[in-house]
Amino acid sequence: MEQGNITDRLRSGAEISFLVSLFLFISISAVQRGALTTLFHLMVALSLLFPLMKNRNLPWPLIKRLSYGFLFYVLSAALSLINTSNWHTGDWYFGRYYRFLFVIPVIIFVARTRAAVEKWVIGGAVVSSLTMAYYSLHQMIFSGVTRVGLAGYLNQNRYGEIGFVSALIILVAILRVPMRTMLKFTLVLPFVLGVCGGLSSGSRGALLAFVATGLFLAWKCTDTVSFKKRLRAVGASVLILAVLISSLVYFSPYWRKQIPRLANEPLQYLSGHYDFEASSVHVRMHLAQGGLLIWKKHPFIGTGLGDIENDMKELVKAKKLPGNLTWSRLHNSYIDVLARSGIIGLFGFLTGALYIPFRTFLTCYKETEKSSERAWASVLGMALVFFFAVDGVASSCFSNKGVYVYLGLLGPLLGLSLRERQVVKILSPNSG
């Protein structure tokens, strides 16, 4: 009996510690240096206590499929180490790959526990939105910055990703979680503040991903109604986004310049008429061109994880690219993976990091009640994968600290989605 009491206490302590770590991971990572990586690894360490959890009937075929997908992604990167000459940088980048394996114990831990993980996720997103709004306002007024972010450990792009992801968590809670109408109205303010926090970062890739994910949610969250109503929901979402973008152009001097550039400068690049030094968009277009040139030399396993910067310098010296393009990242996750680890690495990335998790969320969503915590986690999980898949077009979020934002939420959401099939009311239903 005493042995059982000790095990129960350890189990309860592991659950509480994990929930607190998850809450802090979501709520303070955007405003506290080092919290993003430290809290992610703390959650992983706590999840390794899963043997203490009671045995439950988990969908092991789906968990194995996820594990094989993550493993294939890691091995596709490990294969490119054959061509790596800069081992110091290559080892650093490889860490962004093998940490996908750390998600597996988190999935099993959350799937076995019966703790209300969803409440901690929503609460963390609300606190994150409030703290980011205060931090952004303070930076803009007292420091006079144009783009809010933390230098060193967290740049503006990470700041924007956390802000928009926090807003998405709250939005899915409003759309999918059974709760009182008054509580839904209360969550509108944190949602707006989360969007404002993301916008204050000036991250164009994160804004593009947020807009695309908003349209995806408008379509997915209305799958229980008729086709005409779904089209109306999408149309209303487009109208709301148009008002948002128009407001940005009118009220924000920064976005007044940036939004037209997103449409004009790619066309200028294709026509050959552009000012290279004055445009980060044109620089990124050249970086993408350089990444494709690097990939052509090593089409199957890539040039190596740590060699992109040296290869870029060689292309500049050979005058195949204009300007001083010595950036170590290509600001496009797909071309970045393609150049570093070749076709094999890109296939592993598309399947292991994106498709299999998205497919798992979709499978869980189809087989569960739409008012359960599993359905909420599945919809939010699909939105998370969709957001980072779009964000990867304009940033190297999977080869820098942005991957921790993705992995830190992917594990708990997959664990919630893979719980035993049962309907659980996660917040007070609307009695009226």
Give the per-residue pLDDT at 266: 67
Q: Is residue 255 part of a domain?
A: yes
Q: Is residue 422 part of a domain?
A: no
Task: Kindly report, residue by residue over 327-384, the tens digit of the pLDDT.
Answer: 656 788 999 999 889 999 999 999 999 999 999 999 998 887 766 778 889 999 999 9
Highest mean pLDDT among 101-105, 155-159, 238-242, 292-296: 101-105
For range 26-32, the mean pLDDT: 89
Residue pair 53/273 in contact (Cβ under 8 Å)? The answer is no
For range 282-297, the mean pLDDT: 83
> Of 170, 169, 163, 174, which is closest to residue 196 (Cα–Cα)?
163
Q: Which residue has the tokens 């994910």?
A: 213
Q: Is residue 282 part of a domain?
A: yes
Higher pLDDT, 273 or 171: 171
Q: How far apart are CA 426 and CA 348, in angstroms?
A: 36
Handedness of CA 294, 297, 302, 306 (dihedral sign): negative
Task: Kindly report, residue by residue over 124-139, the tens digit of the pLDDT.
Answer: 999 999 999 888 888 8
Two tokens, residue 406: 């993705």
Q: Is residue 429 part of a domain?
A: no
In which region does residue 143 sit, left (phi positive, over 0), alpha (psi from -120 to 50) or beta (all else)? alpha
Q: Is residue 427 part of a domain?
A: no
Mean of the per-residue pLDDT values of the chain: 82
Q: Is residue 192 part of a domain?
A: yes
Residue pair 286/276 in contact (Cβ under 8 Å)? The answer is yes
402: containing domain:
2-417
Q: How far apart are CA 163 and CA 154, in angstroms?
A: 13
Q: What is the DSSP string of 346-403?
A: HHHIIIIIIIHHHHHHHHHHHTS-TTSHHHHHHHHHHHHHHHHHHHTTTS-TTSSTHH
Q: How far apart are CA 326 and CA 312, in angstroms?
A: 6
Give percent above pLDDT 70 in the chain. 83
Give the per-residue pLDDT at 429: 45
CA angle 383, 211, 147 (to 5 degrees): 110
Residue pair 279/265 in contact (Cβ under 8 Å)? The answer is yes
Task: Kindly report, residue by residue over 226-277, the tens digit of the pLDDT.
Answer: 777 777 777 777 787 777 777 766 666 777 777 776 667 666 666 666 555 5
Q: Is residue 83 part of a domain?
A: yes
Task: Kindly report, residue by residue over 44-89, the tens digit of the pLDDT.
Answer: 999 887 665 666 678 888 999 999 999 999 999 898 888 887 777 7
Counted domains in the chain: 1
Q: Is residue 425 part of a domain?
A: no
Q: What is the DSSP string of 218-273?
A: HHHTTTTS-HHHHHHHHHHHHHHHHHHHHHHHHH-HHHHHHHHHHHHHHHHHHHT-
Other C-beta atoms closer than 10 Å to the C-beta of 36 total 23
Q: How far apart are CA 138 and CA 142, in angstroms?
A: 6
**Residue 137, phi then psi, degrees to nearest 5:** -65, -40
The rounded Cα 265 to chain-centroid distance in angstroms is 26
DSSP 3-state of 130: helix
pLDDT above 80 for 324:
no
pLDDT above 50 for 425:
no
Q: How far apart are CA 334 and CA 392, in angstroms?
A: 7
Q: Which residues pair with 154 in a beta bridge?
A: 150
